[in-house]
Amino acid sequence: MRVVITGGTGLIGSALARELGGAGHDVVVLTRDAGKVGALPGVRAAQWDGRTPAGWGPLLDADTVIVHLAGESIASGRWTEDRKRRIRDSRVGSGKAILQAIREAAAKPRALLQGSAVGYYGPRGDEVIKEDAAPGNDFLADVCREWEESTAEVETLGVRRAVLRTGVVLARDGGALPKMTLPFKMMAGGHLGNGRQWFPWIHLDDEVGAIRFLAESPEARGAFNLTAPNPVTNRELTRILAGVLHRPGFMPAPAFALRLALGEMADMLLNGQRVVPSRLLELGYRFKYPDAEPALRSLLD
């Protein structure tokens, strides 16, 4: 099949392109900068402005799956009002472009995998969160809800749609993990706030494996939590990281200091979600790394 990926030069998208291209699929990465797409087997780039189907709409046919991951990073700076607008618009605007391309396609694609995040649920304390939980009402929840809604109409066009509510993706060379380990390597690691908040994580191998599984499963429709089945609290994660890195982990970061340094973005670190991948497990996906310690050892040892 042909797989069209938006956000294909990011952490998840590039790993997914590598996996699917290596498996023999025809992978097209939509990007503003074709030079960022490396020379990978079965992977090619198509120019995209992020706002319209211009230049790539004709790629769609009945054997195409679109994986929509594009969106400005939420973790690369304070959430000013301008930055919050860019975070929202980069997701919702690109989703509307995907919808327009599908409307105009002579042959509709077989599926759309719509990106989202566990931020959809908002802070929920110790509640075990499955896919049927209601959305939250904070900034990230509103962004995720609008992002998902931006492509909902494709279902009325006969296109199968699965929504990818992704947790924190742990990877060796990018994403959150290198930032998480830096304080430990400087002998200053510790839990965040009171440490009781839940941490909905997933290994990059399982993130890519789950997306491929949903792309290739014709019965996969609706929302799916892409998180490991065994979430941990921030305090437990701190203990595991300290053990794997052979470093102390007794210097907590107080909530007030995080809010002073990061502003509203600190809430993302201090308010977790106890998310479980209920529907993914029911559909038959088998996790390579269901537990945090083996996952972290595979990435850090």
The candidate with the shortest Cα–Cα distance to 122, out of 136, 134, 109, is: 136
The two structure tokens encoding residue 275 = 């998310």
pLDDT at 290: 98
Stronger pLDDT, 294 or 35, i.e. the higher one: 294
Model pLDDT for residues 191-223, shown as the tens digit of each residue: 888 889 999 999 999 999 999 999 999 999 999
The average pLDDT across 71-98 equals: 88
Considering only 95-99, 172-176, 201-205, which range has the smallest mean pLDDT? 172-176
Return the HEC string of 21-56. Answer: HHCCCEEEEEECCHHHCCCCCCEEEEECCCCCCCCC
Cβ(6)–Cβ(70) under 8 Å?
Answer: yes
How does pLDDT run across 147-164, given as a tens digit for each residue? 999 999 999 999 999 999
Question: pLDDT, tens digit, for every residue of 99-147?
Answer: 999 999 999 999 999 999 999 999 999 999 999 999 999 999 999 999 9
pLDDT at 257: 60
**Percent of the chain predicted with pLDDT > 90:** 66
Own/partner pairs for 215-218, CB < 8 Å, 24+ apart? 215/1, 215/3, 215/20, 215/65, 215/67, 215/111, 215/113, 217/283, 218/110, 218/111, 218/160
Across the strands, what pairs with 141?
Answer: none
Specify the CATH number for 2-170+200-228+274-288; select among 3.10.129.10, 2.60.40.420, 3.40.50.720, 3.30.300.30: 3.40.50.720
Output the six-digit token pair for 296: 């972290």
User: Which residues, in sequence order, are bridge partners of residue 128?
Assistant: 274
Q: How would residue 51 be classed by pLDDT, with cut points 50, 70 and 90? A: confident
Question: Strand 232-233 and strand 198-199: pairing?
Answer: antiparallel
Interatomic CA distance for residues 138 and 229, integer angstroms: 25
Least trusted range by pLDDT, from 44-48, 125-129, 180-184, 290-294: 180-184
In single-letter form, the type of residue at position 135 comes to P
**What pLDDT band is residue 27 in, cutting at 50, 70 and 90?**
very high
Domain boundaries, the chain: 2-170+200-228+274-288
pLDDT tens profile 219-264: 999 999 999 999 999 999 999 999 999 888 877 776 556 565 556 5
If you average pLDDT over residues 46-75, what whole number do you get?
89
Three-state SS at 165:
strand
* Cβ neighbours of 99 (radius 10 Å): 20
Average pLDDT score, the chain: 90
